[in-house]
A and B are shown apart, each in its own frame.
Chain A
């Protein structure tokens, strides 16, 4: 049994550079506090973790179904406000408010899905864009409950110390990313969703013709995407101790797209790379505040110009080579496939 696991590990993780890198990354993530406990560094990484969940959920919803969502901040904001209200007015603790907030975000996702199901392409994008902005109007209209532009303040902390905050965010992030990765894994024998979502994205009509209830899967995508974006929103509210209108901002929705497409859409890990590259970069650029956003935008443009599929996908294509016969991934220096021995050229 153990030997079997070790063997699987050797074959499925160590032999594929992409997965090896992912493994090292997550190990480093959990060991980092041994190296530095500087609160500022940890804060940046906590934000990165939260936004990874947010960006990956966008990739899950939009990348995999081809439904480009311009209003992903809706889920983030709905969950942040729900968590904040439950905490502030009823006194629930973060362990309860964050999941409830995420469930409410699922509700928002399903509601948003109702008109969205009838729409395709740019029409869908534009309708999704409208929702957070409409909600922003509602937030402003009831300042007694929502605090207007000040937001709901003075929430309970995520935990008492920064290190614990960090581990909470890292664990939640790892689990969320893993679940979403599994759900989209087209080769998985356990869950079928991956391959079906791929099918819908490639050709919805063909998928429907093959007897797939595409509506059900689109609903699922909205619900799962909404749930994880909601988790991110709840974490954000409790970490910042405030839920304000900035959580529904148009720019936040755009950020999710920027992070994901930069890293590589339809890949899950692309979003992780995108956030972990761009968020700390943005922080680092604080030393030249005047040029910060300019440099940020310029980097995004330049990288995408040369790697239109995204930076992570570009790197993966360089270091991995799929076997033309058995589709197994191989390290780039191998000339023949590690399983079937077919030539990789």
Chain B
């Protein structure tokens, strides 16, 4: 018995060892592409399936034409197993480059593994198209050390800053619906986000922004990304009676959450990011309890972001029986590389990089374009990262509606214009957002919220806790929110005072400028501190809070020193030949422009003589 067992296992071992010993020599006219991913996990399966579709398509159409030669694409499956073994992932990539001799690599998923994997690729000067790791910091390396990291590009998904920007747009839509249908003017939001680095910025920005968007944050819960039970969190959340739960999940906790939320019928609208809810298997995994989960996605069935989307989606689903998730964008990566190689006429990485940098490719999820090297603000807009915004990549908001994942965002009537473009559009195939019946019942039964009477103005008549700045020389003073921190470095002529919110914006700048008109004063003053493209809007005559002094005010658009699009509320009073200008600036990407709040601060300007 013992002997037989031993022999059996020995034979098994020998077969296993010699099976793969027959490696094929490198063939002529073949482009070898390494598809890197955790192949036993759904992310890797989609990497591979997307790349296979693209390779077949290319080869059927005659391959890649370099000069007068036709090359066929040969895919090499590089199982990085990166979810379990980070060190092994880098070895797998090195093996692909040195043993399998791949020409370039696409894929990657776990950020901790993409760092060493891309480092190996850079060591050998191989192009690595990242299809899966969102983190902007990966791309920031291109800006820091271009010569080394120039071979590194990101195809999908757009980074965490854009993800949260998109989240806010989806939240704004939900808030608008709650207001229109149920008269809820100030929705209460519970933030639940897994405790991972990528979620940090998102939670911080949500806490800062939601109140500015007219919502109330009732609390923040941070379970582990692999928590098996969140009923304690859900019970605590339910006790706060929120209208909206804002989710940020990438791990299996997303399923646990959705399932338990559905099981306990917590009456809320659940909106945000939940990677597991993007997958076909979500409905089954939650036993149908994940109904009405509203999540940001890359693709949605029947929603045509470009003319390629629907055909790709259906073919992918036919082949794998699953919806494509973002790692399936290896399809776009490979097809765009075909175009780039043909344009460059070579496989040489150094010759390809400038071609890729210039490329514009119509993919399955929108236009693929990379941020340029001189991209002014990194992060969020890092070189070689995929470009975000209408016309480029927008993502699509999807909702589970009775077993089907429907596209529900963007919607024309809920869109607005921002830094990235005009969001007042919708893709063909989107439907209306649905609200869970238990939530409808709860929202309807709750006494309609009376628009709270404007709060009795606190002493001093201000809606914020104020600190004061006094200028004895010119005899004026003004108030600003107490938590804004003064920064002396910025107070260089003509600026006499500068302070900023801890979140970097909004900022307040007080300047004393010699100029003929208000517009000139603003331009000279703001220009002196490094802003450019200053455009002063329509000027209005207003009265300061003291009720007597007349002033001029206008909205100003400009480019900040960091390259962001800034919006400024500027106010000026002419004293002799000098203008005293107060400018409150924000960057909409981080904190939206709020004229009421900004003018309230600016009009606290008072003169003592």
Contact = CB atoms under 8 A, between A and B. Distances in A.
Any A–B CB pair closer than 8 Å? yes
Interface of A: 38-40, 43-44, 47, 140-141, 143, 147-151, 153-154, 236, 240-242, 244-246, 251, 282-292, 295, 298-299, 302, 305-306
B84 A40 contact: no
Contact of B94 (A40, A287, A292, A305): A40
A40 B141 contact: no
B19 to A, nearest CB: 7
A11 B49 CA distance: 62
Nearest to B92: A286
B116 A147 contact: no
Given A149-B196, A288-B16, A298-B12, 11 more contacts: A39-B94, A39-B98, A47-B91, A150-B137, A150-B197, A153-B137, A154-B141, A244-B86, A286-B92, A288-B20, A299-B9
Q: Which 5 A-B pairs have the closest CB atoms?
A: A148-B197, A287-B20, A289-B79, A244-B112, A302-B9
Contacts of A291: 16
A283 B96 CA distance: 12
Contacts of B13: 295, 299
B390 to A, nearest CB: 30
Contacts of B91: 40, 43-44, 47, 283
Nearest to B90: A240
B119 interface: yes
A298 B87 CA distance: 22
Interface string B22-34: 0000000000000
Given A39-B94, A245-B112, A288-B16, A149 B6 contact: no
Contacts of B94: 39-40, 43
B197 A40 contact: no
Interface string B1-44: 01001100100110011011000000000000000000110000
B98 A150 contact: no
A39 B126 CA distance: 15
Nearest to A303: B9
Interface string B472-490: 0000000000000000000
Given A43-B94, A154-B141, A289 B115 contact: no
B22 to A, nearest CB: 10
Interface string B109-123: 001100110010000
Contacts of B198: 148-150
Contacts of B111: 149-150
B135 interface: yes
B140 to A, nearest CB: 10
A241 B116 contact: yes
Contacts, number: 98
Contacts of A38: 98
B115 A153 contact: yes
B200 interface: yes
B159 to A, nearest CB: 13
A135 B124 CA distance: 36
B98 A295 contact: no
Contacts of A148: 196-198, 200
A285 B81 CA distance: 12
A283 B81 CA distance: 12
Contacts of B88: 282-283
Contacts of B85: 246
A192 B20 CA distance: 50
A170 B396 CA distance: 52
Contacts of B179: none
A305 B9 CA distance: 12
B149 to A, nearest CB: 10
A315 B403 CA distance: 60
B367 to A, nearest CB: 29
Contacts of B550: none
A328 to B, nearest CB: 32
Interface of B: 2, 5-6, 9, 12-13, 16-17, 19-20, 39-40, 77, 79, 81, 84-88, 90-92, 94-95, 98-99, 111-112, 115-116, 119, 135, 137, 141, 195-198, 200
B118 to A, nearest CB: 10
A40 B196 contact: no
B115 A151 contact: yes
A288 B19 contact: yes
B388 to A, nearest CB: 21
B115 A286 contact: no
Given A240-B87, A240-B90, A289 B112 contact: no
Contacts of B77: 289
Nearest to A51: B87
Contacts of B12: 295, 298
Contacts of A244: 86, 112
B89 to A, nearest CB: 10
Contacts of A151: 112, 115
Nearest to A306: B6
A140 B20 CA distance: 41
Nearest to A162: B123
Given A242-B116, A302-B6, A40 B195 contact: no
B196 A241 contact: no
A244 B112 CA distance: 7
Contact of B115 (A143, A241, A298, A306): A241
A232 to B, nearest CB: 12
A287 B81 CA distance: 12
Contacts of A236: 87
Contacts of B39: 289-290
A147 B135 CA distance: 12
A85 B195 CA distance: 21
B9 A289 contact: no
Given A47-B91, A242-B115, A147 B84 contact: no
Nearest to A144: B200
A40 B119 contact: no
Nearest to A244: B112
A142 B20 CA distance: 45
Contacts of B5: 302, 305
A178 B135 CA distance: 43
A295 B88 CA distance: 17
Contacts of B81: 289, 292
Contacts of A143: 197, 200
Nearest to B21: A287
B86 A246 contact: yes
A57 to B, nearest CB: 18
16 contacts: A39-B94, A40-B91, A40-B94, A43-B94, A143-B197, A143-B200, A147-B197, A150-B111, A150-B112, A150-B135, A150-B198, A153-B137, A240-B90, A282-B88, A289-B79, A298-B9
B195 A140 contact: yes
Contacts of A287: 19-20
A149 B98 contact: no
Nearest to A241: B119
A40 B87 contact: no
Contact of B95 (A47, A286, A288): A286
Contacts of B116: 240-242
A285 B16 contact: yes
Nearest to A289: B79
A286 B16 contact: no
A220 to B, nearest CB: 30
Contact of A40 (B2, B98, B200): B98
B9 A149 contact: no
Contact of B40 (A241, A242, A289, A299): A289
Nearest to B250: A149
Nearest to B225: A149
A44 B91 CA distance: 7
Nearest to A287: B20
Contacts of B135: 150
A311 B219 CA distance: 56
Contacts of A154: 115, 141
B478 to A, nearest CB: 34
A281 to B, nearest CB: 9
A37 to B, nearest CB: 11
A40 B115 CA distance: 18
Contact of A295 (B2, B16, B137): B16
